[in-house]
Amino acid sequence: MSATLYYEPYQLPAGLLALAVHAVFFLLLYFGFSWQTQQARTISVDLWQSLPEVEIAPPAPAKITETVQPVKPVQPVQPESIIKPDIALPDKKNIKKTETKTTQQLREEQKQEIAIQRERIAFEKAAQQAEQAARESAEQAAREKAAQDAAIDAIVNEFIARITARIRRNVRMPQDVRDDALAEFRVTLLPDGSVLTAELKKSSGNAAYDNAVERAILKSSPLPLPADATMFSRFRVLLLKFRPVE
């Protein structure tokens, strides 16, 4: 009797599946054993004498949320609800009184303005009169001063003529002196008319004549002066001119 071999198609996958199951089983056994034999881990602990200072941050400010109330719509105002103001009509009598009072005020203001204008005119007129009087007074004073100066000048000229005449009478005229010779002397006097100094300022060109005039000045001392002592300032220093022929 002969045996016949038949190929069954499901035998190969079944074999592979059996191998896979055995492999998974061996892996589980291996890793389970190695996990049980793993050494325990060491833990390191740090000991602190005191806790470190930890900066505590300030709490954040609470946010305030504003609740916004919904705006109510404005109700339109009814014409009937508007309150009409009470307007008092002016009285005709009061109007007349007011008009009359205003007219009186205007008249009073006009009177005051006229009075002010009159006062201003009077003040200006008085100021003009005062100015005119001051001007006339100044002019009068100037005229009086001019007249006084003229009188003083006349007195000074008169006494200078007397002084010159007295000195000329005492001059001993030298010979050979020209008629146009001119000698000028600066003469300083004392209050009583005495001659303090006689200084030759301009020579006549003839020394003999100059010396003769100087001797005559000293010989004529004291010279005539006005009786008014206040006029001596005009005679303290005199500039005298002498010629042989006058």
Q: What is the rounded distance in angstroms from the CA atom of residue 236 to the CA atom of residue 190?
A: 7
pLDDT score recorded for residue 106: 86
* Structure-block tokens of residue 38: 């793993």
| From 12-16, 76-80, 177-181, 226-230, the region with the lowest mean pLDDT | 76-80
CB 189 within 8 Å of CB 225: yes
- Give every CB contact of residue 164 below 8 A, 6+ residues apart in sequence: 240, 242
Between CA 211 and CA 181 the distance in angstroms is: 13
State the chain's maximal CA–CA distance in angstroms. Answer: 224
pTM for the full model? 0.47
Domains present along the chain, CATH in parentheses: 92-246 (3.30.1150.10)
Q: Hey, is 45 helix, strand or coil? A: coil
Q: What is the pLDDT of residue 222?
A: 94
Q: Tell me, what's the pLDDT at 235?
A: 94
Q: How far are the Cα atoms of 34, 111, 156, 213 from residue 192, in angstroms, in the given order?
A: 162, 75, 16, 21
Give me the percent of the chain exceeding a pLDDT of 90: 43
The span from the CA of 215 to the CA of 209, in Å, is 10
